[in-house]
Amino acid sequence: MSVLDIDRIGQVAIWRITRPQALNALNADVLDALHAAVDAASRDHELRAVVLTGEGKAFVAGADIAAMKDMTPAQAEAFAAKGQDLGARFEKLGVPIIAAVNGFALGGGCELAMSCDIVLAGPKAKFGQPEVNLGVIPGFGGTQRLVRRVGLTRAMDLCMSGRFVNADEAVTMGLAARKVEGDVVEEALALARTIAEKGPVAVRYVKRAIHENADADLDTGLAAERSLFALCFATADQKEGMGAFLDKRAAAFTGN
Ligand code: CO8
């Protein structure tokens, strides 16, 4: 049975994790399916954005506890590496990935959302790093990406208490970009379509400039930004975008 539904609506893909009976918990099959989806997306030159969500009442309620219970330390390290590698590949993919958090995003699910470029929180979203309840720590980037998103003070609180935060609190602390009152998947698709209308190379360079330099000192980050800004001027899309503005017409970007 498939654990990941992939649909394509125009230039936007929707990846929906489909293990609702286990609240979409991440086991090796789900991780493999997501790796395969990234493989396919990186070869798809017409793709402009991805929406990631979960079926049922969860986005992802964490790594699969039943699958992890009897792991040896070596197996646990390999499992964490497979998850961490997926997060790194999300950040390197040339198109944005939008997490449409429809429900529980806990443990590995919160970490999966934080590996996405934009996080939208639906009215029932619940975020948390409850690993300490299980006698373990986050292993899919939680102790690292959470600090970068919400700061050390709040990351300590969430990772040590295991408490859940709702959409409002997640937005306030910077874990989610926005709360969506209605259907979070529809809103994420609308956002994906908006991004799909922009210059694809520019969107790719924005993603690269931010991710590759989030931990750099300011001078290094500004130098990288300058280089990518200059590279935009080697594209037909830059001529088209600026020409269209001056001609007072809509730009027709080609991604070249
Ligand atoms: N793993 C496996 N099964 C799960 C998980 C999970 N993480 N979460 C829920 N399920 C299963 C339940 O066992 C239950 O199965 P069954 O019907 O067969 O009994 C089914 O999903 C429904 O769950 P509940 O009955 O518990 O639903 P409730 O609405 O009562 O509660 C909760 C929802 C609060 C989300 C509750 O299910 C819960 O606390 N789940 C566990 C959350 C958790 O602790 N997550 C962290 C896991 S550890 C982790 O993610 C570490 C990541 C590090 C490495 C990752 C590498 C990829």
> Boundaries of CATH 1.10.12.10 in the chain?
200-247
Q: In the structure, what pLDDT confidence band is assigned to residue 1 with cuts at 50, 70 and 90?
A: confident
**DSSP character for 156?**
H
pLDDT at 245 over 90: yes
pLDDT at 217 over 90: yes
Residues 53-77 pLDDT 10s: 999 999 999 999 999 999 999 999 9
pLDDT value of residue 184: 98
Nearest CA to ligand 1 atom 52: 108
Express the helix, strand and coil content of the chain in percent, nearest 5 each: 55, 15, 30
CATH node for 200-247: 1.10.12.10
Q: CATH 3.90.226.10: does it fit domain 4-196?
A: yes
Return the sign of the alpha-carbon dihedral for residues 102, 107, 111, 114: positive
Nearest CA to ligand 1 atom 2: 64
Q: In the structure, what pLDDT confidence band is assigned to residue 128 with cuts at 50, 70 and 90?
A: very high
C-alpha span between 117 and 92 (Å, rounded): 10
Q: For ligand 1, pick from 65, 114, 137 the residue to mutate: most ligand atoms within 8 Å of CB.
A: 65
Return the sign of the alpha-carbon dihedral for residues 252, 207, 128, 165: negative
Of 154, 182, 189, residue with least CA distance to 16 = 189
Query: Annotated catalytic sites, by residue?
Result: 111, 131
pTM strictly above 0.95: yes
**If you measure from the C-alpha of residue 46 to the centroid of ligand 1, how many angstroms do you get, rounded to a whole number?**
36
Structure token pair of residue 25: 């918990």
Residues 194-207 pLDDT 10s: 999 999 999 999 99
The share of the chain scoring above pLDDT 70, in percent, equals 100
> Boundaries of CATH 3.90.226.10 in the chain?
4-196
Residue type, 129: Q
Nearest CA to ligand 1 atom 27: 23
Q: In the structure, what pLDDT confidence band is assigned to residue 50 with cuts at 50, 70 and 90?
A: very high
